[in-house]
Amino acid sequence: MKNFEFSRATSLSDASLRTQEAGVLLMAGGTSLVDLAKCGVTEPDMVVDITRLGGLDQIEVSERGATLGALSRMAAVADHAGIKAEFPAIAQSLSLAASQQLRNMATIAGNLMQRTRCAYFRDPGAFPACNKRQPGSGCSALGGVTRNHAVLGTSRECIASYPGDLAVALLAFDATIETTDRRIPIGEFFLEPGETPHLETLLRPGEIITAIVVPASAAAHRSTYLKVRDRQSYEFAAASAAVGLQLEDDGRTIRDLRVALGGVATVPWRASRVEQALIGQVLDEGTVRQASLLAVEGAVAHGDNHYKIDLVPRVVTRAILTLGGLA
Amino acid sequence: MTLIEPRKHGDASDGSLGSRLSRLDGRRKITGSATYALEQPVENLVHAVLVQSTIASGRVVSVDKAAAEALPGVLMVLTPDKVFNMMVASDWFGNRVENVPYLPLPAEVNYYGQAVAAVIAETFEQARDAARLVKVHYEETPAVTVIDQGGSGTVTAPMTVEWGDAQAAFDTADITIEAEYRTPREYHVPIEPHGLIASWQDDQLTIWEPSQWTHGMARTYAEWFEIPFENVRIISPFIGGGFGSKGGAYFYGAVAALAARELARPVKLAVTRSQGFTAYGGRASTRQTLKLGASADGVLQAVIHRGANETSTYADFHEGTGAATPIMYAVNNFSSQQGLIKVNTVTPGALRAPGKNPSAYGIECAIDELSYAVGIDPLEIRLRNYADHDYQSGKPWSTRKLREALLAGAERFGWSNRSAAPRSMRDGRTLIGWGIGCGTFPNLTNSSDAMIRILSDGSVEVESAGIDMGQGTYTIVAQTAADALGVSVDRVDVKLGDSVSAGAPVAGGSMLAGSITGAVHKAAQAAREELIGLALNAPNSPFSTSGANTLVIENGRIKTSREDSPSMSIGELMAMLGREKLEVKRDTLPEGTTREEQQKAFTHMSKVRGPTAGEFSIHSWGAHFIEVRVDEDFGTVRVSRIVSAFDCGRLYNPKLAESQLRGGIIMGIGQALLEEGLVDARNGRVVNNNLGDYLVPTNADVPPIEILSVGEPDFEASVLGGKGVGEVGIVGVAPAIANAVFHATGKRVRDLPITLEKLI
Ligand SMILES: Cc1cc2nc3c(=O)[nH]c(=O)nc-3n(C[C@H](O)[C@H](O)[C@H](O)COP(=O)(O)OP(=O)(O)OC[C@H]3O[C@@H](n4cnc5c(N)ncnc54)[C@H](O)[C@@H]3O)c2cc1C
Ligand code: SF4
């Protein structure tokens, strides 16, 4: 880790102004930033701590939806009664993430901005080649240990998966990310690697997330976050699904369905094809199982991660059937 | 069936020994007042940081250190081309090649992550920054980075075990099975990482370093620097877990001590978590093939075992996959061979139950496979082939209550409710499986020395160089001394982990408890005799008119055995005698052992007696009954219930023994389901070299674990009747889980860990 200066922002605009400079990075809970600095991936000259800025950690839930201040701690959102009631998938995505100590420390904006767990990305000393760290240097993961790499949204330049859980739940329920400059629909916020894997989000230098707004919906109200992994706790997802379901008054026809995937794609991944295939259909196991296969349409395996292609439809199926009371 | 609970066994157990006393060091650890090696406040300290190789094989041609040396605070950069006057130390068994210089940072690179340089600076940060600027130039040579690239290996002839005609019996057996089992590299990952502080005062070297064996490590440092053993002091009162990894001094200790000598300042060297994956070896990856032949009713006719493990390119380490195979079952035709496969890795090392652990994984899975092939219950096949004596040595067991363990465990677990067919037990989409795995660990014995000091206030100090890494030495030593002396435990202060104290063998191979309690018991009994003699013969003795020719000590008071006896406390006796202290030192070495031989016993392994050194074959035994729940769609395995029954002889403190066994079982869960060093075959780097990616069980992965003890005192095993506890707990857990997974799913996964992709 390279030594860096630590400073505290006096206001949002102060933070914004200062982080426009190269080498100056925003810091919230620091759980991801300091980790990456220790790995030698992020080498700031200065960090600007925004956690003392007031008013950015409010959690509000109304009939219209939820507004989550960017600095809300993961644990606070996970335990919030209104979020648990109206957006169970969001609460669960957080309570199943990281560890209690990290959740107490980490903010939700920091959570969205966390970077891939690709072991090659995180180990510059051993593996200099990484297009995400060093555009044009190559990809060390190709031909290496790829058990946790993405099968969806990959490119020849990068196959790193997006590891976070919260963004997956937010994507399913069409959240909007509010920044110091604008509002960005979450579906546009994350960038697939393509030929520029070093560009990960739409955020511009100095642009700061201030809040996350999630509209209320019947599907969000009846939702779940299913996270599958080898270790019961404290592990990133091998595959996860945030699913919301709304049935017609007949109690069996699907009116609305939201499906987003985690741990298997380069960005939080919306499985729109599954949603389209099932909306209007009668909820039954065979139909759901069949439609869930569409979640991995176009998926490409790279060695060790081929199991994800089998796993994803099963996760999606289970989540939908659970919500529908069929599993 | 016997639940572990306070019990009285044998002659010395009528007091505190054998009771469920909580750990005496527990409070200090929990409140943070126990000081670990790297926390020692040492003045004038400087810091060393290692630079590691980025190739798996080749040699260092040159090191460009100018940029590092130019940084402020940098004091020294050690590189392979700088040769210091150090000599190779002897190995564990005392073999030493004379006059060979020792190079802690050799130019020859044998594995990725080998240390090739070290930077010493005023602060840790300066050293770390400078280490990054050291540029190493290599000449690279082709490497073998994973076991599968290493060919079939070479058979180590002395490890071959044969009796009868295994091949012929296998060929004619009614029922045969053949299967290959594999285990990956596994790591100790103790929660206290390795490292040390080294400090010289003239030619006296003091080392604060977590140590499972202060005498052995002091000997190594002394030999490296060619100074007398007495000039080295290893201080290691608290250790945050070792599991075999802290039993020896490693190259980085030499680097720190060397730098401290050159700079004439104390040097701290912290091995980082990721460096811990290459600074010393974990458990070697193994593979083994088992062929079992049986009669139609499941009676074993032949066992053929062929195993191999990876070792480094520069040293041989045997992870004996045939270590448990010959002693588990009755069989008249047996053949086992062990080979080594050379790989560019740091030399593997001992990790909890070395050998026995992968060995039991093989034979205990194979016997389970055989039970299905024959069509009898996995419990029944174990009973049907029960070994009533040791078929390998031909000797009788000292004690082997494995049958009792199997029956008690089965009863407690409810094994008789198991439905035999695979995939026949489920809860919705969750498949449920029950499996058995047996375990064993040999009883190794060695002698100990112990010092008992009675202080003027009647309190007692016990001193030993033996250590406590969480297994409970402080507590059982206090219990032993208290009982033998006739004082209460809270009057006993135990001082451990200092190589200047009375000698003790390694806390490894489950041999320390049996050894140290023997010496403490002997010394404490001698101290009691001495106190009694002094009390009887003191000029103003209250007992002089009592007519008694001996006395008793109870609860710290000396008296005759009569009801109306006068009495005095030990403190009063000391005051009457005007004595500051009374010291009694006793060892359990054979009469007439020379000073030199005594030294050898504590600093080498050469005096360790194996399980069949005497008339009997002596081992600890265990049987695990494990329930798993497997998600049919996701392949995720959760262990939901464990009952494990053990024969570890007499338990000096059932609470601590239970806790050690439980710890081993939890480690076994990790081994079965999670742990695997993932090596990038292209360069030999362990890519998951951190606790975020190398997964060990969390609390959520650990189900209720019930421990039963069926053992009885075994005085062939140790002075006080205990057999080893530390290692046997893990042995048999992985096969029990693998067998349960098969019962749940009908899928036989023969390579650990059983991760979800192997089941979907
Ligand atoms: C061992 C481990 C396990 C984990 N497991 C999981 C898991 O299972 N699931 C999961 O989802 N996460 C997991 N995490 C990630 C963890 O949730 C993140 O580290 C955490 O959420 C980051 O939040 P923070 O506030 O500490 O961010 P910081 O470390 O402070 O910042 C992270 C990044 O976000 C930027 N940033 C912070 N706030 C803002 C803002 N307001 N606007 C713009 N940019 C901002 C920073 O500049 C920085 O680049 C794990 C982390 C660890 C270390
Ligand atoms: S997968 Fe992406 S992040 Fe990982 S090494 Fe390749 S380019 Fe870098």
Domain assignment of residue A67, yes or no: no
Tell me the CATH number at A30: 3.30.43.10
For residue A42, the enclosing domain spans: 5-49
Cβ of residue A139 lying under 6 Å from some atom of ligand 2: yes
Q: Which of A24, A34, A73, A107 to mutate to test the pocket of ligand 1 (most atoms within 8 A of CB)?
A: A107
- Which whole number is the average pLDDT over B396-418? 98
pLDDT at residue B122 is higher than 80: yes
d(CA A200, nearest CA chain B) in Å: 23
Higher pLDDT, A72 or B11: A72
Q: Is B427 on the interface with A (CB under 8 A)?
A: no
For residue B419, give the nearest of B430, B434, B437 by alpha carbon. B434
| Contact (CB<8Å) A230/B685 | no
pLDDT at position B5 over 60: no
Q: Which residues of B touch A317 (CB under 8 A)?
A: 633
Across B653-664, average pLDDT: 97
Q: Would the CB atoms of A3 and B638 count as touching at under 8 Å?
A: no
Residue B674: is its pLDDT beyond 70? yes
Q: Is the pLDDT of residue B585 over 70?
A: yes
Any idea which residues of B carry the catalytic annotation? Answer: 727
Which atom of ligand 1 approaches the CA of A107 most closely?
Answer: 25
> Is B175:B373 a contact under the CB 8 Å cutoff?
yes
What is the band of B15 on the pLDDT scale with cuts at 50, 70, 90?
A: low
User: A152 in a domain, yes or no?
Assistant: no
Nearest atom within ligand 2 for CA of residue A139: 6
- pLDDT level of residue B548 (50, 70, 90 thresholds): confident
Q: What's the CATH code of the domain at A298? A: 3.30.390.50
The confidence score (pLDDT) of residue B540 equals 85
Of the candidates A266, A263, A261, the residue with the CA atom closest to the CA atom of residue A236: A263
- If one residue of A42, A127, A130 were mutated to test the ligand 2 pocket, choosing by the most ligand atoms within 8 A of its CB, it would be A130
Residue A145 has its nearest CB partner, among B631, B687, B756, at B687
- With CB atoms and an 8 Å threshold, state whether B755 touches A228: no
Q: What is the C-alpha to C-alpha distance for residues A267 and A150, in angstroms, rounded to an integer?
A: 9
Nearest CB among B129, B636, B687 relative to A119 is that of: B687
C-alpha separations of B50 from B220, B396, B608, B614 in Å: 21, 51, 35, 46
Q: For tokens 């912290």, name the residue.
A: B270
The domains of chain B, with CATH numbers, are 26-34+445-603 (3.30.365.10), 37-142+195-270 (3.90.1170.50), 161-169+282-443+612-758 (3.30.365.10)
Split at pLDDT 50, 70, 90, the class of B11 is: very low
Which band of pLDDT confidence, cut at 50, 70 and 90, is reported for residue B2? very low
Q: What is the DSSP string of B147-213?
A: GGGSTT-EE-GGG-EEES-HHHHHHT-SEEEEEEEEE--B----SS--EEEEEEETTEEEEE---S-
Q: Is the CB of A108 under 6 A from ligand 2?
A: no
Identify the CA nearest to B143 among candidates B60, B59, B57, B52: B57
Query: A194 C-alpha to center of ligand 2: Å?
Result: 12
Whether A66 lines ligand 1, by a CB cut-off of 6 Å, is no
A95 ligand 2 Cβ < 6 A: no
Question: Which residues have a Cβ under 8 Å from the Cβ of B350 and sit 6 or more positions away?
Answer: B244, B245, B247, B508
Tokens, residue A157: 């330049």
Residues of B with Cβ-Cβ distance to A307 under 8 angstroms: 756-757, 760
- Reported as a pLDDT band with limits 50, 70 and 90, residue B539 is confident
pLDDT over threshold 70, residue B7 = no
B210 close contact with A: CB closer than 8 A: no
C-alpha radius of gyration, chain B, whole number: 27
| A9 ligand 1 Cβ < 6 A | no
* Residue A16 forms part of a structural domain: yes
Across the strands, what pairs with B302?
A: B293
Inside any domain, residue A147: no
Q: How far is CA B205 from CA B104, B198, B257, in A?
A: 18, 7, 8
CA of B188 to the centre of ligand 1 (A): 29
B148-201 pLDDT per residue, tens: 999 989 999 999 999 999 999 999 999 999 999 999 999 999 999 999 999 999
Question: How far apart, in whole angstroms, are the C-alpha atoms of residue B476 and residue B18?
Answer: 9
Amino acid at the residue B594: T
Q: Best of A116, A121, A146, A149 to mutate for ligand 2, by most ligand atoms within 8 A of CB?
A: A121
Helix, strand or coil, per DSSP, at residue B585: strand
Between the CA of residue B240 and those of B29, B48, B265, B269, B469, what are the distances in Å?
A: 10, 21, 26, 17, 6
Q: Report strand pairing: B204-208 vs B449-455.
A: unpaired
Per DSSP, the residues of A33-79 read HHHHHHHTS---SEEEE-TT-TTS--EEE-SSEEEEETT-BHHHHHH
pLDDT value of position B386: 98
Is the Cβ pair A117, B699 closer than 8 Å? no
- Facing A232 at nearest CB: one of B633, B680, B701: B701
- What digits encode the pLDDT tens for the residues A5-30? 999 999 999 999 999 999 999 999 99
Cβ–Cβ under 8 Å, residues A256 and A244: yes
Question: What is the rounded (10 degree) CA torsion for B464, B466, B471, B477?
Answer: -20
Whether residue A171 lies inside any domain: the answer is no
**Are A80 and A98 contacting, i.e. CB atoms less than 8 angstroms apart?**
no
Q: Would you say residue B10 has pLDDT above 60?
A: no
Cβ pairs bridging A and B (under 8 Å) = 82
Closest residue in A to B678 (Cα) is: A145
**Is a pLDDT exceeding 60 seen at residue B4?**
no
Give me ligand 1 centre to Cα A224, in Å: 22
B397/B400 Cα distance (integer angstroms)? 6
pLDDT tens-digit readout, B443-489 = 999 999 999 999 999 999 999 999 999 999 999 999 999 999 999 99
CA distances from B201 to B233, B261, B265, B419 (A): 11, 9, 9, 69
Residue A62 lies in a domain: no
- Residue B168 has a pLDDT of 98
Per-residue pLDDT at B340 exceeds 50: yes
Report the distance separating Cα A40 and Cα A43, nearest Å: 6
In chain A, the number of structural domains is: 2
pLDDT along chain A (327 residues), means of 10: 93 97 97 95 97 96 98 98 98 98 98 98 96 98 97 98 98 98 98 98 98 98 98 98 98 98 98 98 97 98 97 98 94
